Chain A
Amino acid sequence: MSKPQRPQLTRVVLDILKRHRPSVVELGRLVSELDGVSHVSIVVGEVDVDTETVKMTIEGTNLDYEEIEKAIKRFGATIQSIDEVIYSSGR
């Protein structure tokens, strides 16, 4: 009998603070190239003189949150909050 599959991270919604440039296109590309990611959506929210707050939705299979966090940090942006997380077993 096969072991029941454990739920995997399939969706994360993050609130991110970043400077205007590089743009959300570069940030989206960076995250979309991570393992397991199949869909990235970014919506710009509050815009300040030097910075902007964006809502990033990442979907995929078996997402590695640590990798996502590391990539965003390396980009020079800050995760202000994790607004939604979905773990799904795909059953």
Chain B
Amino acid sequence: MGQGGSAFRRLLKRLRELRAHMKAEQVDEIARRYLVMNAFDGALAILSVVVSAYFAMGVQDPRLIVAVGLANCFAMGISGFTGTFMTERAERRRRLKELESLLLTDLEDTDLERASLLASVYVALIDGLAPMVAAVVSLTPLMIAMFFPLDMRSVIYAALALNMATLFALGAFLGRVSKENIALSGLKMVLIGVGTALLCSLLKAI
């Protein structure tokens, strides 16, 4: 216990040190921005899949919508993670080089360099996971319908309700961040969702 306890304390100390550097780089603020932006992307993308599949194309098989939806999720997740990781890494490398010339030293193997890599991975994970989670939440009723015989119309409405709830939660979160009216901010997001759904249902005309 003594040795394990001291190793744990050392690990906590190292994490605290790295956290201080990450805070200095305002990583939380960037991650928060990515979280909302990409969860919003994910929710709207899945809304368009559900609405166009059911209302425009008349798809009655939940497996089909889930398959297309999940494929969409994976694509958004992979694109979010890799794209953000490469962009963040490039930006942070540039910043490290700037700091090296300001501090007149080589910053290789310092906490600054480690925190910079950690920040890129952290932000990329948020960027990759946010749209996937938002999308999977909306797909849950359809996933359940794959295993239980449920009325397809009710399942679709449940998926839409969850999607609108996700959009409202994202808007409310933004409202809390900006210290504005939380309900109004949430409703704005829902309105954007309704607009998107109406636009997608127009595909029926094709």
Contacts and interface: CB of A to CB of B under 8 A. Distances in A.
Nearest to B110: A76
B119 to A, nearest CB: 13
A-side interface mostly: mixed
A19 B103 contact: yes
Contact of A74 (B102, B104, B111): B111
B102 A76 contact: no
A77 interface: yes
Contacts, number: 42
B26 to A, nearest CB: 9
Interface stretch (B17-25, B31-39, B55-63, B67-75): B17-25
B130 interface: no
B107 interface: yes
A73 interface: yes
Interface in B6-45: 13, 17, 20-21, 23-24
A77 B23 contact: no
Interface residues of B, number: 17
A50 interface: yes
Contacts of B113: 76
A11 interface: no
Nearest to B113: A76
B23 A22 contact: yes
13 contacts: A17-B103, A18-B103, A19-B24, A19-B103, A21-B24, A22-B20, A50-B102, A73-B105, A73-B110, A75-B111, A76-B21, A76-B99, A76-B110
